[in-house]
């Protein structure tokens, strides 16, 4: 008999969040706690695993207290996190991965210090690259490990374990070194469909020592999402989290994949999962499609076996900057200081306030697209993750005039939102050509809560956008993991169907298709010009 409630923990780029859920997917309470992300020169980003674990402990305790339940009523816990690299020495001692001399032992997912290493790996043409869309990204872990071996050889040699952040969290919770098939398959090149690492790949790229050690430092016991880890919550972790010792801890997920689990199966089980694309729209954005057959899509990560839903193949695209791209985009306009003051007075974020202005100025959410006027934006500030797999890509803005008024800033914002939407359309098109079916897009993530963004996404792609009833679908996805690990459900698809429901369907607006076809064509042209001139 398990406890009646389940905890989902989500570790994002700047904060940890925890939610308490019942077996029907209802959220009783949630809490969050921030932590630092240190942005350095050269596209570097670093964090502290100690600080992150402390933030997790704070928000779990707060969420349980706010839920008004006894900790003894909790049956299981699931974790998700960004796909960041954690480097630990003996006894779990943090090893510094930068030049600050501080206790920063995490190379953050967005860190691009390993671009040169990624390019050298891609130049090998190794067969393993067919499972990452043909090109490995500097956001993945083997380029980062190679950078560490070449630039911090003592740290690399002294490392006891290299963890993906989601696996670090389950290790902290259980003392078990078991890894999730999600992390090692999507970010470390583990071949889940064959149940093995490829020693030749590691030797070829210059990380042969990991293979010679039998991969002991990157994981030898691999579990499916929802499988229980170790013997459950350890005595130390139970004390730190304020939960009972021994409750079930699930194998983890990458944060975007938790959003996929929390949404795509809503009320429909596996059949629905295979026709819906998850779009997790936060600081970055991920697109995830599941199928019974493997589909290789150039420039799109995967196919990954059992990486999100056990038994299904996953193709994963996305945008390295999405919510962050909109935040950054609007800082370039002369009306931003005035708009920021107005937003603060209204208690809103700047982009949230701009979305409201766009909606107020339009006859409908679809018609808000026309506010962009002649402005066009390719918001690739941090490169193109898919389908071009080009970390060198840069953002472009066309159609700027001399406008300094709020209306001009609103136009820029709307154009940026549509630029992200056209990027999704581009991913859907290349995936469809390879056999991936997308009948609907299920949206989650902080930015995905905006009614304007939902409508513009439907209009830009020409595909219905589904919205689940869950206020925090990423947290829900992780709570589903805890429920499965605790035995509340026999398998993850069962939990996905039972704990999530579709609340709203946003259909493409009438009479807007030709408008968006024209702008999409301009987006593709502008993107191509940018790749040519910025890559010169």
| Domain ranges within the chain, ordered by starting residue | 5-253, 256-319+427-506, 323-426+511-534
pLDDT at 1: 43
pLDDT tens digits along 406-437: 999 999 999 999 999 999 999 999 999 999 99
Ranges in the chain, pLDDT < 70: 1-2, 269-270, 535-536
List the Cα angle 218/48/145 in 5-degree steps.
35
3-state secondary structure of 154: helix
3-state secondary structure of 471: coil
pLDDT at 109: 95
Strand partners, 39: 45
Residue 216 token pair = 């002991």
Q: How far apart are CA 167 and CA 174, in angstroms?
A: 10
Q: How far apart are CA 162 and CA 362, in angstroms?
A: 51
Q: Distances in Å between the alpha carbon of 45 and those of 85, 99, 303?
A: 11, 12, 28
Q: Would you put residue 233 in left (φ > 0), alpha (ψ -120 to 50) or beta?
A: beta
Question: Dihedral, CA atoms, 132, 416, 283, 359, nearest 10 degrees?
Answer: -130
Residues 6+ apart with CB under 8 A from 345: none
Q: How far apart are CA 446 and CA 444, in angstroms?
A: 7
Q: How far apart are CA 292 and CA 315, in angstroms?
A: 11
pLDDT at 43: 86
Report the run of H or E that residue 58 belongs to, with start and end. Answer: helix 49-67
| Nearest Cα to Cα of residue 312 among 280, 249, 264 | 264
Q: Distances in Å between the alpha carbon of 340 and those of 138, 245, 299, 348?
A: 34, 47, 37, 9
List the Cα angle 154/155/156 in 5-degree steps.
90
pLDDT at 271: 72
Domains 256-319+427-506 and 323-426+511-534 share a fold: no
Q: How far apart are CA 177 and CA 163, in angstroms?
A: 9
Question: In CATH, what is the architecture of 5-253?
Answer: 2-Layer Sandwich (3.30)
- What is the CA 347 to chain-centroid distance, rounded? 27
pLDDT at 391: 87
Beta-carbon count within 10 A of 221 CB:
10
Residues 6+ apart with CB under 8 A from 480: 6, 8, 25, 78, 226, 261, 262, 489, 492, 495, 496, 499, 500
Could you tell me how many residues make up the chain? 536
Question: Dihedral, CA atoms, 208, 209, 215, 219, nearest 10 degrees?
Answer: -100
Q: What is the 3-state secondary structure (H, E, C) of 87-116?
A: EECHHHCECCCCCCCCCCCEECCCCCCCHH
Residues 6+ apart with CB under 8 A from 514: none
pLDDT tens digits along 188-232: 999 999 999 999 999 999 999 999 999 999 999 999 999 999 999
3-state secondary structure of 336: helix
Strand partners, 106: 47, 86
Beta-carbon count within 10 A of 518 CB:
10
pLDDT at 165: 98
By the 8 A CB rule, do 366 and 360 touch? no
β-pairing, 74-81 vs 248-249, is parallel
pLDDT at 2: 61
| Nearest Cα to Cα of residue 257 among 330, 376, 375, 166 | 166
3-state secondary structure of 195: coil
pLDDT at 320: 87
- What is the CA 6 to chain-centroid distance, rounded? 22
Q: Distances in Å between the alpha carbon of 77 and those of 42, 169, 176?
A: 37, 11, 15
Q: Which fold has domain 323-426+511-534?
A: Methane Monooxygenase Hydroxylase; Chain G, domain 1 (1.20.58)
Q: How far apart are CA 136 and CA 141, in angstroms?
A: 10
Give the chain's end-to-end CA distance (angstroms, integer). Answer: 63
Q: Could you give phi then psi for residue 475, rounded to 5 degrees?
A: -60, -40
Residue 19 token pair = 């939610």
Range 256-319+427-506 has CATH code 3.30.420.40:
yes
Beta-carbon count within 10 A of 36 CB:
13
| Nearest Cα to Cα of residue 416 among 450, 463, 369 | 369
Residue 403 token pair = 């406008």
């Amino acid at each position: 008999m398990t406890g009646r409630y389940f905890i989902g923990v989500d570790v994002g780029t700047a904060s940890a969040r925890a939610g308490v859920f019942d077996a029907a997917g209802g959220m009783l309470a949630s809490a969050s706690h921030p932590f630092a992300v240190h942005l350095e020169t050269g596209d570097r980003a670093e964090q502290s695993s100690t600080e992150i674990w402390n933030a997790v402990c704070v928000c779990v305790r707060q969420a349980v207290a706010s839920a008004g339940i006894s900790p003894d009523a909790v049956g299981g816990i699931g974790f998700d996190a960004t796909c960041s690299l954690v480097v630990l020495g003996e006894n779990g001692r943090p090893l510094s991965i930068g030049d600050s001399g501080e206790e920063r032992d995490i190379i953050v997912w967005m860190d691009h210090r390993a671009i040169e290493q990624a390019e050298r790996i891609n130049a090998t043409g190794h067969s393993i690259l067919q499972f990452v869309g043909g090109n490995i990204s500097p956001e993945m872990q083997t380029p980062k490990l190679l950078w560490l071996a070449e630039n911090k050889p003592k740290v690399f040699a002294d490392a006891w374990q290299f963890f993906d952040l989601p696996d670090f969290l389950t290790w902290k919770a259980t003392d078990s070194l078991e890894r999730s098939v999600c992390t090692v398959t999507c970010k470390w090149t583990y071949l889940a469909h064959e149940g093995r690492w490829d020693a030749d790949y590691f030797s070829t790229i210059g990380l042969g020592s990991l293979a010679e050690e039998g991969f002991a430092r990157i994981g030898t016991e691999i579990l499916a999402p929802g499988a229980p880890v170790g013997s459950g919550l350890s005595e130390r972790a139970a004390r730190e989290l304020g939960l009972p010792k021994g409750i079930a801890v699930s194998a983890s997920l990458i944060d975007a994949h938790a959003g996929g689990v929390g949404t795509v199966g809503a009320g429909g089980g596996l059949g629905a999962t295979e026709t819906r694309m998850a779009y997790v729209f936060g600081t970055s954005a991920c697109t995830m499609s599941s199928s019974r057959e493997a589909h290789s899509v150039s420039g799109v990560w995967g196919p990954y076996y059992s990486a999100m839903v056990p038994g299904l193949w996953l193709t994963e695209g996305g945008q390295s900057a999405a919510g962050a791209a909109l935040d950054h985009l609007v800082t370039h306009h002369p009306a931003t200081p005035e708009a920021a003051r107005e937003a603060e007075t209204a208690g809103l974020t700047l982009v949230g306030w701009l979305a409201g202005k766009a909606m107020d100025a339009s006859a409908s959410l679809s018609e808000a697209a026309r506010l962009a006027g002649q402005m066009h934006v390719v918001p690739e500030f941090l490169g193109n993750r898919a389908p071009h797999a080009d970390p060198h890509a840069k953002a472009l803005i066309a159609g700027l005039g001399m406008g300094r008024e709020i209306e001009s800033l609103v136009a820029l914002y709307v154009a940026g939102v549509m630029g992200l939407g056209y990027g999704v359309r581009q991913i859907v098109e290349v995936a469809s050509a390879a056999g991936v079916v997308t009948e609907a897009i299920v949206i989650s993530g902080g930015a995905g809560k905006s009614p304007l963004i939902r409508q513009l996404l439907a209009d830009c792609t020409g595909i219905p956008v589904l919205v689940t009833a869950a206020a925090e679908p990423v947290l829900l996805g992780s709570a589903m993991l805890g429920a499965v690990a605790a035995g509340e459900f026999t398998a993850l698809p069962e939990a996905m169907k039972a704990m999530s429901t579709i609340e709203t369907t946003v259909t493409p607006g009438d009479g807007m298709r030709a408008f968006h076809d024209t702008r999409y064509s301009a987006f593709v042209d502008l993107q191509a010009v940018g790749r040519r001139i910025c890559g010169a």
